[in-house]
Structure formats: C-alpha cells, structure tokens
Structure 1
Amino acid sequence: MPTIYDLKPKFQALLRPVCAALARVGVTANQVTIAAFLLSLAHGAAIAATAGADWVLWVLPIVLFIRMAMNAIDGMLAREFGQKSNLGAILNELTDVLSDVALYLPFALIAGMPPVLVVMVVLFAVIAEMTGVVGIQIGASRRYDGPFGKSDRAFFFGALALLLIFFEPGWWSTTLIAFAAALGLATIVNRARMALKEAGKGADHANT
C-alpha cells in the first residue's frame, strides 16, 4: 500500500546538502537521533502540561516536520558517511517508537478527545513498528508497509492538531481517531503478511 514514506528518497535528496554540511563539522548520526527524540519528548511534555493549548498545537506540525528531517538525516549520515553502528540501529528503532508515544499519547489529555481510542492508536503504532522489525528475524527485510506508517502518523496528528485549534473535539475527532486506530491495525496485519511473503520467497529461492 502506498504511504507518505514512499516520498522519502525525494525528501532525502533535498536534505543531502545539509547532511553533508553536518558531517563536515563532526555531527554524528547518533547525535541527530538523540536530538530528534529529545525534541519529541519536550514537545510531548508541553502538550501534556498544557492539555493541548493552541500555541502548542500550532507548533506540533513544525516539530513533526523537523523530526522527520532529522530522521532522514541520521539515516543518510549512517549510510553515506560511514557511521553505521549496532548502537545506532538500536537507537533508531527505540527512539522512533518512544517519540511517537511522547508526541501522540498526550492527545488523550485534551478535553473532549477519546482517551481509550488515542491509547489504541499509540499502542497499534508501537506494535506496527515491532512487526516491521520482526520481519528481519524471520529472514525478510525491515518492513515499512502502510497504510499507517511513521510518516502517515505524523501527517495525521499534525493535521489533527490544526483542526483542534479551530474546532471543539466531538464526534468528528472521535471518528478520525477511530479511523486512525483501524489504519494502525491494518498496518500491523499488512507488515506481518508482507514479511511472511518475503521470507517465503527467500526460502523458495534457497531450496531451488
């Protein structure tokens, strides 16, 4: 299924000059990864502390864009500038999940939002990323299949934040969150299915 993640190569091409400049001054991939997580943690704390004040919601799409750029940059630094490491791989996966939890779980504290559904969306996001990683364990690649991957979640919550500035939460926000939960569940199933399919093809080639 197509997702916003499919635009990643073009986004990386735009960021490559910035990435090269950071590498020249000694910035490492792991530093960028940790910085992106700390940014997410700080803004998630602001959402929780203010119960979704307008100014915090205004800033969220900007934070999500910066986080997405930093995630692309740390990957390029690792791959294109010889900075790959086992620690970096662990940090990348863990901080992605923790950043999602930090940024999206506080939406449950916004008055009028359905807390159970928000928790479900975040839980399904964590399971979806875990499913993607488990693909490697069974002989497939790290799966990023949609329809509700990391970039899609960022777009959804960024747009939701802007809508909440202008409209009181109600049936419409509950409907959107329920839809996001359904997409999250579909993503888990799709990643598991595609990982099994890929691993099966690998086994077939090995037996021929």
Structure 2
Amino acid sequence: MTIYALKPRFQSLLRPLVRRLAEAGVTANQVTLVAAAGSLLLGGLIAWKIGASPSILLLLPPWLLLRMGLNAVDGMLAREHGQRSRLGALLNEIGDVASDAALCAPFALLPPFGAGGIGAVVLLSALSEFAGVLGPSIGASRRYDGPLGKSDRALFLGALGLLAGLVGGLPGWLWPLPWLLSLLLLLTIVRRARGALAENPT
C-alpha cells in the first residue's frame, strides 16, 4: 500500500475543477509547465535560504500538496479531455524528475545530511522513474509500483520540511535516513523492472 493507491479518490475530488479548467481553455501542458517551474523556483529559493533560515522549508509541504494536485490535473486534462500528446508525455516525465531533484537537493545543505546521501536519493529517484517509464518499451504498462514512488517521496520530503522548518533544523540521529530511502528506491527500481518483465515475459 502506497500513497499512489489513493490517487483515484483524489482525482474524484478534483474532477469538477478539471472540467472547469478545460472549459476555460487551460491545457495539460500548461499545468505541467507551471508545476515544474514552481518546483524549480522553490528549490532554488530553499537552497539559497536554508543555511541562514531553515524555516524556509515550511514552504515545502504546501507546495508538494499543490504540486500533487497539479500533477493529477494535468493527467486528467490529457486523458479525459482529449489533450494527450507526445510532447505532453515528454514534458510530464522530464518535469517530474527535474522537480523531484530541485526539491530534494537543498537537503544536502542541511545537517545531518550531506551531498553523498542526498545525491544518492536524487539519482535513484530519477532511475526509479526511468525504470517505470521503460515498461512500454518492452510491451508492458508504465509502472508505478514499489515502496517509494513519487507520491511517497513527496510525503517524506514534506514531513522533513515541516519538522526542520518548525524546529530550525533536524536531529543528528536522522543521518542514516537518506541511505534508508536509497535502499527503498533500489527496491522500487527492482520491483518495477520485475513487474514489467512479468507483465510481458516474451
């Protein structure tokens, strides 16, 4: 059970809004670009301010919730309102990976973490999405399974941002957390690869 399993209920809540956006002429690609640009800007702001003011991380949880909503909206506009496109598929995948990296990387500047652990999380997060998107290339579906998908990572980052923002930093005993997340990401990659192979074993 992961956060991704709650997606259908979340989409049901957003459907009336998505319908109004489609009627107003808003496109899926526009929403995708807004989500990516917002993540890149916020990631840069956090990296700039985090050393002097860890409270900047309080901006992270509400943005991650909004970004989750934007990601759902762009997908629903594409699927339910005839806006699927090859450009949209590329923007969605590239934007997600870039956004994840931008929002996670500033934690390398926050003790007790460092560049090694956070760098591993950023790299493996990208590889986990790569493993998921490779499914169709071997005749399987796009894979979202595994213990640490995109929505689960957002939950972890939001919780860390909230904690660090409220108390002005993170406790030293959390230093192994990036390596634990890296292990879960490795399991996610393996799970997605095995799932794709099992779906189309020929």
Same fold (TM over 0.5): yes
Pair 1:197-2:198 in alignment: yes
Deviation per CA, 1:26-65: give whole Å up to 9, x if none: 1000000000001101110011101263332111000000
Which residue does the alignment assign to 2:27? Answer: 28
Q: What is the aligned-residue identity percentage?
A: 52
Which residue does the alignment assign to 1:41? Answer: 40
TM-score (norm 1): 0.92
Pair 1:175-2:176 in alignment: yes
Give, in angstroms, the shift of residue 132 of structure 1. 0.5
The residue type paired with residue 6 of structure 1 is A
Give, in angstroms, the shift of residue 169 of structure 1. 3.1
Which residue does the alignment assign to 2:59? Answer: 59
- The 5 A counterparts of 1:55-134 are 55-134=55-134
RMSD value, Cα: 1.3
The residue type paired with residue 145 of structure 1 is D
The residue type paired with residue 174 of structure 1 is W
Give, in angstroms, the shift of residue 167 of structure 1. 6.2
Following the alignment from structure 1 to structure 2, what is the Cα–Cα distance between the partners of residues 26 and 8?
24
Following the alignment from structure 1 to structure 2, what is the Cα–Cα distance between the partners of residues 11 and 95?
21
The residue type paired with residue 114 of structure 2 is P
Following the alignment from structure 2 to structure 1, what is the Cα–Cα distance between the partners of residues 168 and 33?
34
The residue type paired with residue 30 of structure 2 is Q
The residue type paired with residue 191 of structure 1 is R
Which residue does the alignment assign to 1:19? Answer: 18
The residue type paired with residue 51 of structure 1 is I
User: Contact between 2:18 and 2:76, CA under 8 Å: does it hold in 1?
Assistant: yes
Give, in angstroms, the shift of residue 170 of structure 1. 4.3
Structure 1 residues 28 and 91: alpha-carbon distance in aligned structure 2, compared to 1, 3 A threshold? same
Pair 1:164-2:164 in alignment: yes
The residue type paired with residue 39 of structure 1 is G
Which residue does the alignment assign to 1:188? Answer: 189
Once structures 1 and 2 are overlaid, which stretch shifts more, 44-53 or 165-174? Answer: 165-174
Structure 1 runs, 4 residues or longer, greater than 4 Å off? none
Unaligned runs of 5+ residues in structure 1 are: 204-208
The residue type paired with residue 31 of structure 1 is Q
Once structures 1 and 2 are overlaid, which stretch shifts more, 140-149 or 177-186? Answer: 177-186
Deviation per CA, 1:81-107: give whole Å up to 9, x if none: 100001001111110001001110111
The residue type paired with residue 17 of structure 1 is P
The residue type paired with residue 197 of structure 2 is L
User: Contact between 1:133 and 1:143, CA under 8 Å: does it hold in 2?
Assistant: yes
Following the alignment from structure 2 to structure 1, what is the Cα–Cα distance between the partners of residues 163 and 177?
11
What number of residue pairs does the alignment pair up? 200
Following the alignment from structure 2 to structure 1, what is the Cα–Cα distance between the partners of residues 118 and 171?
14
SS in 2 for 1:55: helix
The residue type paired with residue 180 of structure 2 is F
TM-score (norm 2): 0.95
User: Contact between 2:111 and 2:172, CA under 8 Å: does it hold in 1?
Assistant: no
